[in-house]
Amino acid sequence: MKFHPPFRFICHIIRAVCGWMVTGGVMVLSAHGAAHPEAHRVLLVHNANEPGGLELAEHYRQLRGVPTNNMVAIRTRVAETITREEFQREILEPLRGVIRERPSIYYVVTFYGVPLRIEHDPTVGELPMPENSPAEFQHNRASVDSDLAVLLRDGVPLRGAVTNPFFGWRGAFGATTLPRRLALVGRLDGPDPATVRRMMDDAVRIERVGLAGRVYLDARGIQNGDGYQQGDDWLRDAAVAFREAGFEVELDERGETLPADAAVTDAAVYAGWYAHHADGPFAREDFQFLPGAVAYHIHSFSAASVRTRTAHWCGPLLARGAAVTAGNVYEPYLSLTPHVNIWIRRLLDGSTWIEALYASVPALSWQTTMIGDPLYRPFAVSIGPQLAMAERDEHPYADWVFVRHINLLRAQGRNDEALTLARRLAEQRRSATLWEKVGDLLMAEDKTSDAIEAYRRAWEGMPRGWAWVRVGRKLADLETARANEAAAEIYRRAVVEWVNGVGPRTEQRE
């Protein structure tokens, strides 16, 4: 990831865009119930040369209730990288004609088989950029989806980037005049068709109950005020936002990425940086996100390919169970990538995935691709309805809903009530997750002996696995702190033997 050039300079050379769209369309019912209210505004684009793309587009059409006449086939090479000429002739021009005939379209979804990125073409004749412009602005390579976002505008220069008029917007896309200026283009793609199908199904299923689980944010500990600190600042602000919403948050600020033996479990959200390929727990064979998970890694080439389970980041994160992700197909400059804290706060406010991402990225006709169901709203269900579902045992991750409720009680200063509730639920539900939470609450009150007892109950109630490792490490540290080294060694040895014997095994990179 390159540090951005001075932002004022970027604003000077970045290109503004406008276009036109008006509203209209019809609503249909899907095979799975009422159509999504924005379904009639969605255009589904598949490559006729990739049969798997048509099957996925049809599955999504039925899931969301998209009208059948909103499915469009293009015909182009089945490859992730294509030439500028192929993009113009076989993708851009056909879709431009379709959308101009259908002014109700706000959202475009490209499917598995539609090319991902456009390579630089030095033969394209354009006026040169200023000599002192950044190197990447001298090229016309780009993300297919990001270039399509400005498809209604004729004569857009191909070099450099385009200012995103939706950047920083707090409302819904349709509530602005912006639909006249751009389309929000997302992608349903991944390592293989089965993964893409699972992503769609998970998004629809989880948004009905609301995403719940742990949040992992992996910063780099940058505090020196240089241009890279903004990446860490985004993650720190995201941690604040999630804690305010009651989530269990782990913010790591060590310089390196999370190690392979990090006890990352029950992950509903991950955002971090900075490694070329998926590493640490995300490269382990046994790692799996919770269904509906949101996962993102900041790297210059995180989406250089998505047809992989091990290389770069987008493909591996999806292969490990994430429902949505985003990444860069070429060097984007940090300041022109999605601002993590913006899209996280938008999601927490109930926005769709595609609206949250487009509100967070300053540049279009650039390098970002947004992958996953664009209409997915992971946090559309607020804590009140979630809690009611959990109390009726109708939420698949009820323990994590209770943990969130307990955290919100503590945020209101109701610490005794939170601890009493956590103990009662842990007993009633025989929940190792909640016993671990009881231990955490007791540690926050410096009640070490009581915390050890709670952690012990959690540890003994867990199957061997990474959550068991995490609690075992907590027990070892606490026993060491109270000078009970014999007890600490029992936990430490058990954890080390399991880690050495069972994991972490990493998948061989393709």
* 155: nearest Cα among 127, 113, 135: 127
Which one has a higher pLDDT value, 12 or 48? 48
Domain harbouring 488, CATH code: 1.25.40.10
328 and 459 inside one domain: no
Whole-number Å distance between alpha carbons of 381 and 348: 10
Is residue 348 assigned to a domain?
no
The residue-averaged pLDDT of 173-186 equals 76
389 and 333 inside one domain: no
Q: Where are the alpha helices (DSSP H) in 41-142?
A: 51-64, 84-87, 93-101
Is residue 429 assigned to a domain?
yes
Is residue 163 assigned to a domain?
yes
Task: Look at 223-227, 312-316, 361-365 and tell me which has the smallest mean pLDDT.
Answer: 223-227
Please write the tens of the pLDDT for every residue from 234-290: 999 999 999 999 999 999 999 999 999 999 999 999 999 999 999 999 999 899 999
Distances (CA, A) of 149 to 96, 143, 162, 227, 359: 10, 10, 10, 28, 13
pLDDT at 130 over 70: no
Is residue 93 assigned to a domain?
yes
331 and 451 inside one domain: no
332 and 387 inside one domain: no
39 and 150 inside one domain: yes
24 and 84 inside one domain: yes
* 359: nearest Cα among 105, 227, 200, 184: 184
pLDDT band per the 50, 70, 90 thresholds, residue 11? very low
Distances (CA, A) of 242 to 102, 148, 409, 429: 39, 32, 15, 25
Q: 372: which 2 tokens?
A: 């996953």
For the chain, what is the mean pLDDT? 90
Whole-number Å distance between alpha carbons of 376 and 199: 10
330 and 439 inside one domain: no
Q: Which residue, of 337, 371, 404, is where some domain finishes?
A: 337
Q: Residue 137: its pLDDT value, please?
A: 75
Is residue 227 assigned to a domain?
no
* 387: nearest Cα among 377, 373, 397: 397
pLDDT band per the 50, 70, 90 thresholds, residue 34? confident
Neighbours of 255 (CB within 10 A): 9
Share of the chain above pLDDT 70, in %: 89
Phi-psi region of 392 (alpha: psi -120 to 50; beta: other; left: phi over 0): alpha
The HSE-up count of residue 473 (CA atoms within 13 Å, CB side) is 12
Is residue 450 assigned to a domain?
yes
Q: Which residue, of 279, 308, 337, is where some domain finishes?
A: 337
Q: Which residues of 274-303 are buried (b: 16+ CB within 10 A; e: fewer)?
A: bbebbbbbbbbeebebbbbbbbbbbbbbbb
Q: Residue 4: its pLDDT value, please?
A: 53
DSSP state, residue 508:
P
Q: Residue 178: its pLDDT value, please?
A: 64
Whole-number Å distance between alpha carbons of 325 and 97: 29
Q: The domain containing residue 469 runs over which residues? A: 383-502
Q: 162: which 2 tokens?
A: 């385009």
329 and 468 inside one domain: no
Whole-number Å distance between alpha carbons of 312 and 298: 11
176 and 65 inside one domain: yes
328 and 179 inside one domain: yes
429 CB burial (10 A radius; 0-12, 13-18, 19+): middle
Please write the tens of the pLDDT for every residue from 302-348: 999 999 999 999 999 999 999 999 999 999 999 999 999 999 999 99
Do residues 434 and 469 make contact, with C-beta atoms less than 8 angstroms apart? Answer: no
Do residues 364 and 171 make contact, with C-beta atoms less than 8 angstroms apart? Answer: no
Q: 84: which 2 tokens?
A: 């500028």
331 and 439 inside one domain: no
The residue-averaged pLDDT of 23-34 equals 40
Whole-number Å distance between alpha carbons of 362 and 337: 7
Whole-number Å distance between alpha carbons of 346 and 323: 17
Q: Which residue, of 276, 311, 337, is where some domain finishes?
A: 337
Neighbours of 22 (CB within 10 A): 8
* The total number of structural domains that make up the chain: 2
Give the contacts of 266 (CB within 8 A, at least 6 positions apart).
213, 214, 290, 397, 400, 433, 467
162 and 20 inside one domain: yes
Distances (CA, A) of 230 to 180, 237, 302, 349, 377: 32, 10, 18, 22, 26
pLDDT at 22 over 60: no
Q: 92: which 2 tokens?
A: 């851009």
Q: 464: which 2 tokens?
A: 């061997």
Is residue 314 assigned to a domain?
no
Is residue 444 assigned to a domain?
yes
pLDDT at 30 over 60: no
pLDDT band per the 50, 70, 90 thresholds, residue 128? low
Do residues 151 and 94 make contact, with C-beta atoms less than 8 angstroms apart? Answer: no
Q: Residue 122: its pLDDT value, please?
A: 85
Q: 361: which 2 tokens?
A: 């990225």
